[in-house]
Amino acid sequence: MRHFLTLMDFSADELNWVIERAIELKQMHKRGDIYEPLRNRVLGMVFEKASTRTRVSFEAGMAQLGGHAIFLSPRDTQLGRGEPIEDSARVLSRMVDVVMIRTFKHDMIERFAAHSAVPVINALTDDYHPCQLLADMQTFREHRGSIKGKTVVWIGDGNNMCHSYINAAMQFDFQLRIASPEGFEPDPALVAEAGNRVTLLRDPQEAVKGAHLIATDVWASMGQESEREERIRHFRPYQVSPALLDMADKEVVFMHCLPAHRGEEVSHDLLDDPRCIAWDEAENRLHAQKALLEFLLCQED
């Protein structure tokens, strides 16, 4: 029984298997093949943070694999009324086959996993967003081939997405440059762990030179709404635009985990630029997570 709380929970070979399998499952889906290895399996989806892509991709993915998903918000469970996380984990994991959690504190999902009898998937915490990185790595591979040895640039907040890109640099063996304003850098311990795979910079124009992939995220994530105006002031020089992409490698692609705030972290026209592959990236959440679910639930089959 395995959990997927960060990319570091799998080996590099396992992650690459998941990516290749996601591409296969996507092709099967496009052909209309019926493939239902998760028939009679149930996914419990615990949401403390709202979502569009996460809910739809996991729920549709379970349906396509023959299983079923149950959506649980705080008002639908005793978690929202103060039941200890450990007790909820013990109960839910006796009724479902796998649990997906989208929450705030990473400690919450770690505590849940420690007391769960079934695999637990991190669908986003304040510290990490590993499912999104599976989709990102799949999308790059589909468009440009292996990301090994390539240069990736993260522009903006040193947030959960940035942390997962740091993990991805270690697992998929690419160079990561991070351009963030002072005071918004990623976790120093995580940067130190990544060693020479990660470089911190201030100037986004310097960071994107020779880049093969540029990625960003909103400047104020869920739970940071009160900081929005202050963050805009700090992050304004870090907007990604077609002109910034022009300074990168001629084959550069751009990704955004969405939703995007046009006119803030991205210019109004960037998502319509042919180098933007954010829509394929969003679609691939479905197929990458199907491969992940198959990996976690069918290892002994």
Q: Say if strands 213-216 and 253-256 run parallel, antiparallel, or are unpaired.
A: parallel
Mark whether 138 is an active-site residue. Answer: no
The catalytically annotated residue of 106, 129, 177, 231 is 129
Mark whether 257 is an active-site residue. Answer: yes
Rounded CA-CA distance 83/77 in Å is 9
The catalytically annotated residue of 21, 41, 53, 102 is 102
Mark whether 132 is an active-site residue. Answer: yes
Are the CB atoms for 81 and 102 separated by under 8 Å? Answer: no
Mark whether 175 is an active-site residue. Answer: no
Mark whether 129 is an active-site residue. Answer: yes
The catalytically annotated residue of 3, 21, 197, 285 is 285
Mark whether 102 is an active-site residue. Answer: yes
Instruction: Compute the Cα dihedral for 102, 299, 22, 69 and give only its sign.
Output: negative
CA distances from 103 to 41, 48, 71, 83 (A): 23, 5, 14, 15
Please calculate the CA angle 184-185-189 and round it to the nearest 5 degrees. Answer: 140
The catalytically annotated residue of 257, 276, 287, 289 is 257
Q: Say if strands 213-216 and 42-47 run parallel, antiparallel, or are unpaired.
A: unpaired
Q: Beta partners for 213?
A: 152, 253
The residues annotated as belonging to the active site are 102, 129, 132, 217, 257, 285
